[in-house]
Amino acid sequence: MSVRAYRQIIRRKSRQIMVGNVPVGGDAPISVQTMTNTVTSDVEGTIAQIRAAEAAGVDIVRVSCPDEESTAALKAIVKAARVPVVADIHFHYKRAIEAAEAGAACLRINPGNIGSAARVREVVKAAKDHGCSMRIGVNAGSLERELLERYGEPCPEAMVESALNHAKILEDNDFREFKISVKASDVFLAVAAYQGLAEACDYPLHLGVTEAGGLITGTVKSSIGIGSLLWAGIGDTIRVSLSAEPVEEVKVGFEILKGLGLRHRGVSIVSCPSCARQAFQVIKTVEVLEKRLAHISTPITLSIIGCVVNGPGEARETMIGVTGGGNGTHMVYVNGVTDHKIDDGRMIDHVVGLVEQRAAEIEAAKAAAAAAE
C-alpha cells in the first residue's frame, strides 16, 4: 500500500456556510477557533487576546456576550479584530439581536432556549439583515429537561435529538446558515454524538470536547476525540477547550490538523525522545527551536535527531534536518541530502537561519506565482 493511500481521509459531505469571510463546511479547509476569557466589556484586554490568537493563526474567535455591556463593547472588538468574531449568547434573545447589530459574524445560540416563536423570528431577522450565520451548540451538561427525563441521562441519542430540534426551528424560519456542535466532557459520549449527528444531517459540524481540562489533560482528550472524528472524515471547524490561554488552544488545534495532514502551518519538528546515544541535548534544543521558530507560518518540516540510528532516515523526509555526530560536530541535511556539518555552539542559530531562509524562499515563490497569474 502506498503512503498516499493509507493517509487518505475522505471528508463527510456537508453544506457550506460563511462565518464572516471564512467558509465552513463543503470543501473548505478545517478552520481553527478559540474563545476569549476576558471580561468582554474590557475592550482593550479582549482585543489583546484576539491579537495573540491571530498571531498563532486562528481563523475564528468567539466572545461571550452575557449582558448589555458586552454587546455594547462588541462593536469596537469586531472592528479591531482581523478575523471573524462569534458572539456567544445564552437564553437572552436581545443580546443576540444586539450582537448582530454590532457586527458579529456568527451567533452561538440555541433557538429553543430563547423563548417564544416571535423571539426566534426576531433573532433570525437580525441575523439575515446583518449577514450573520449561527451555531447551534448542544452540550451534554445542559440538555433540555424533557430529554433528560425521557432518556434518563445525557446520551448520544438525546444530544442528537436536541440538535435536530433546534435545527428544525431555524429551518422553519427559512434559515439554514448554521453549523452544529454536540459537545461533552466525556470523549466517548462526544464522539458518539458527533457520529450520530453526521449521519442525521448535512450541516457543517463544529467539533470539540468541552471542559476538557488543563493544558496537558485537555490536549490529550481533545486530540483523541477531535482527532478520531477528523480521521473518520467528520468535522468542519474545531475548538480545543483548555483551561489555558486562548493562544494555547490555537496551537493545539493546528497540531491536531497537522498531525492528520489536514492543514499545514508553521514548522513541524520531527525529533527523537533522546537517549544515551544523543550527541547533543535534543530536548533542550527542540524546546529552544520551538520558541525561536514560532513566528514562522510557512509550512516547513524540520528533523532534529540525536544520533545516526534514525537521523539520516528522518532527514530524508524533511526539508531541513540535523543528525548528531561525533566530537560535537553534527550533519546538516537539506532536502534529504547531506549538505554540510555544524558544531554544537552554532547549531541552533544556524538551524533558525536555514528555516527562515527557506520560509522566505517559499513565500517569494508563492508571490511570484500569484503575480504571474
**86-130 pLDDT, tens per residue?**
999 987 899 999 999 999 999 999 887 887 889 999 999 999 999
pTM, entire model: 0.92
Please report the domains of the chain, with CATH numbers, ordered by start residue.
Answer: 10-259 (3.20.20.20), 267-372 (3.30.413.10)
Binding annotation: 272, 275, 307, 314
Residues in the chain: 373
Bridge pairing between strands 329-334 and 320-323 = antiparallel
Q: Which three cell numbers stand for residue 130?
A: 446583518
- pLDDT score of 150 more than 60: yes
Percent of the chain past pLDDT 90, that is, above it, reads 90
Binding annotation for [4Fe-4S] cluster: 272, 275, 307, 314
Nearest alpha carbon to residue 104 among 64, 57, 69, 54: 64
Where would I find the H helices in the chain? 3-6, 43-55, 68-80, 93-102, 117-130, 145-151, 156-172, 187-200, 215-231, 246-259, 282-292, 311-315, 347-372
**166-210 pLDDT, tens per residue?**
999 999 999 999 999 999 999 999 999 999 999 999 999 999 999
